[in-house]
Each structure stands twice: as C-alpha cells, then as structure tokens.
Structure 1
Amino acid sequence: MYAVPLTAPDAAESAELCPLEPWQAEEFLAHMDRARANTDPWIPWASRSTDLDSARATLQGYADRQAADTGRIFGIRLDGVLVGGVMFVHFDTRMGTCEIGCWLEPAGEGRGLVTAAARHLLDYALVERGLHRAEWWNSSTNLRSRAVAQRLGMTQEATLREYYPHNGIRHDKEIWAVLAPEWKASR
C-alpha cells in the first residue's frame, strides 16, 4: 500500500495519508469507537459505523465511489495508528467540483494533520485532476473544521441556516471554497 508523508522525515512523530479500504473495516471500527465523541456531533456516518458490518459498508461505499471516480476516502495514521481521515465527499469531473471532508480522534488533534492531508487532496483535485472548485462544508458550531478551511485559504461563501438535522438538532452549514487559480497562486 502507498502512503504520503504528512510530517518531515526527522519529526518526532511520523504521520502519513493512505487509502482506507473495506478490508480494513475492523481497524476502522476500532478507530471510530475512539473518535465517535469527536465526530458524531457533525458527521452522520460516524453514528452509522457501529459494528463490523456497518463499518465495512461505510468503506465499501467509498470504494464504490472511488471506482466511479465520484468520491474517495483516506486515513491519517500517526505512528502507524489510524487517528482520522479526509475524503472527497463528492468528486465531479464533469462539473469540475469537489467537496473535501475530514474527521479526527483526540489522539490526532493539534498537530496540523487534517490541514496537511487536505492540502494533498486539494493539490490532487485542483492541480493534478484539473478541477476548478473545491468546497469545504462544516457545521457553524464546528470551530475546528472552520479553522482548517481558513488555514487552507478558502473563502466563506455562505451559511445555510438550519440546513440539516442531526442528533435532534438543526445545524447551520457553512460553505467554504477555493478556486483552482487561487489555490495554484497560493502554492
């Protein structure tokens, strides 16, 4: 399996970005059990990955989307342990747009891992694949996710008020975006 380094070779901790696939469902489930308190307030599929079959189904859904070139999921490993991930929630080559999402368990927080991983996804989408627009959607109450969008140089374009219900609460959804010319200029 391939992995993309997220930390310098001489860093105290080693972090990498790598694919997540259905055969890794057991590891993914153990990780989700550690991450659930961090992810469940904002990510609906986190509450659906609660046993081996549902964890495998989550990963299989992304494998199917990868095969169709419409989405993809990657894990973030810290010293070999799965601590989070990033994904293309949607990937539309015809329209030239994508949406990037993320999640992280407490053991991975505060190290810039999501920002580093999202940069790789943005380079892939906007430079290598030639998409024109990348979006980042987050609940307005998820300040950590908003901070990643800001660190990536994205522009907040909208807030969709009470856009979706999750865990009995209607959440506002912020939409952030970066265009390919902006991303290339910033790199």
Structure 2
Amino acid sequence: MLVLTVEASMYAVSLGDDGAELRPLEPWQAEEFLTHIDRGRDFIGRHVGLPDRVTDLESSRAQLQAYADKAAADRGRIYGIWVDGRLVGGVLFVTMDVDQGTAEAGCWLEPSASGRGLVTRAVRTIIDWAVEERGIHRVEWRVSAANLPSIAVAKRLGMTKDGTLRESYLYRGERQDIEVWSVLAPEWRAFGQAP
C-alpha cells in the first residue's frame, strides 16, 4: 500500500518502516544530487554512466532539468531514494511511451545503501504506477551482463530475460553485453498477487 506524505518535497512515498522514501528529483535539488553522486561516484560508475554526466553543479542541474522536461512531456521520470532525509540513490524511467505502452526503468545507488532492498522496493513502486495509472503494458530493464546486483533486482521483480545484446554498448572504452529483461502488465499484476 502506498502512503503519500507531505515532506521536504511536495510528494513522498514511504518505501517501508525503515525511514526510506521515494520522491521526485527536481532541478532545484541539483546541489544535493551532486553531493550524493560524489559520495558514490566510483561505485555507481562501475555500470552506470550517471557519474560521467554529473560532474559539477551545472551538469547536475542539466541532468535533472532533462528529466523535468521528460516528465512534462510524459516521456520519462526520475525519483530519488532518501533514507532518514539523506539522498542515497534513485530510480527512473529512462524512456516512457504511453501511446505504445512501453517504458524502460533503471536505477543507481550509493554503496552505503546497498543490500537493503531499496531499489527493489522503489522500482516496484514506479512499475505499479506505470502499469496501473499510465497504462504501460511492457516495462524493460536493460543492464550490463556484468551488473549482477541489478540483474538480481530484475529477477526479484518477476521479470523475464528476453535476451542479450552482445557487445552493444560502448562504456568507458569497452564493449558491454546488455541483457534485456521485461515484465508485461498481466504478468506484473499476477506477480503482485502471488504469495
């Protein structure tokens, strides 16, 4: 059950009883976002290009503004994960095509918050919203084949591995295999009702 509360940001969704919550990340939070990325830069950057794009206050603000623009156009969203008032990670819809009923979800997390199920809970929240509120039929999860924690999230969410795009992504000078996982709306609803 989602519980909405009014917090530092206008909207917050509790992710459990451990002080974790999900909130939209907005351009006015660029400094906090940059500080968070700096804390986890090496850890986050092992598989995700976000630290390469967010290097100073201007690029931090630009990254958040790009997602504010996507949200305004109904083409994507970005959310932060806060624990006890501290930004520790986030989830997002990299893309969202409501007309086609498709979206691609993603995540990042700083090392201090890993291993607590925060990403799984946060992604579950945004997929619920996308399927039930926006009518999204297919949610994809694209992940480096070397990113085992992110693959584990896909499995915990009941996603199916569609295949591997061999050496399809050039990341920091090396070709990466990208696994594509997905869940369809009927599967998601059935998975949510499973014990």
- TM-score range (shorter-chain normalised) is over 0.9
Whether the aligned pair in 2 keeps the contact of 1:41 and 1:167 (CA below 8 Å) is: no
Percent sequence identity is 59
| Residues paired across the two proteins, number | 183
Residue 5 of structure 1 aligns with an amino acid whose one-letter code is S
Uncovered stretches (5+) of structure 2, i.e. residues with no partner: 1-9
Instruction: Tell me which stretches of 4 or more aligned residues in structure 1 moved more than 4 Å.
Output: none
What is the letter of the counterpart of residue 123 of structure 2? A
- 1:128-171 per-residue CA deviation (whole Å, 9 max, x = no partner) reads 21111000000000000000000000000010000111111110
What does 1:48-63 align with in structure 2 at a 5 Å threshold? 48-63=53-68
Residue 173 of structure 1: how far off its partner (Å): 0.2
Check if 1:91 corresponds to 2:100: no
Q: Is the 8 A contact 1:29 1:50 kept in 2?
A: yes
Partner of residue 168 from structure 2, selected from 123, 147, 163: 163
Matches of 2:156 and 2:82 in 1, distance apart?
21
- CA RMSD for the aligned pairs? 0.8
Rounded Cα–Cα distance in structure 2 between residues aligned with 1:163 and 1:34: 29
- Show structure 1 runs of 5+ residues with no match: none
What is the distance in 1 between the residues matched to 2:50 and 2:107? 12
Which of the numbers 15, 18, 25 marks the counterpart of 1:6?
Answer: 15
Structure 1 length as normaliser, TM-score? Answer: 0.96
Distance 2:68 2:113 in 1: 24
| 1:176 partner SS | strand
Deviation at 1:41, TM superposition (A): 2.2
Q: Distance in 2 between matches of 1:117 and 1:38?
A: 19
Residue 190 of structure 2 aligns with an amino acid whose one-letter code is A
1:96-140 deviation digits (Å, cap 9, x = unpaired):
000100000011111100000000111011112111100000000
Separation in structure 2 between the aligned mates of residue 78 and residue 110 of structure 1, nearest angstrom = 13
Q: With CA pairs under 8 Å and 6+ residues apart, which has the higher RCO, 1 or 2?
A: 1
Give the TM-score taking structure 2 as reference length.
0.92
Query: Secondary structure, in 3 states, of the residue corresponding to 2:99?
Result: coil
Q: Distance in 1 between matches of 2:102 and 2:43?
A: 28
1:77 and 2:86 are equivalent in the alignment: no
The DSSP-based 3-state class of the residue aligned with 1:161 is: strand
Paired residue for 2:6? Answer: none
Q: 1:97 corresponds to which letter in structure 2?
A: T
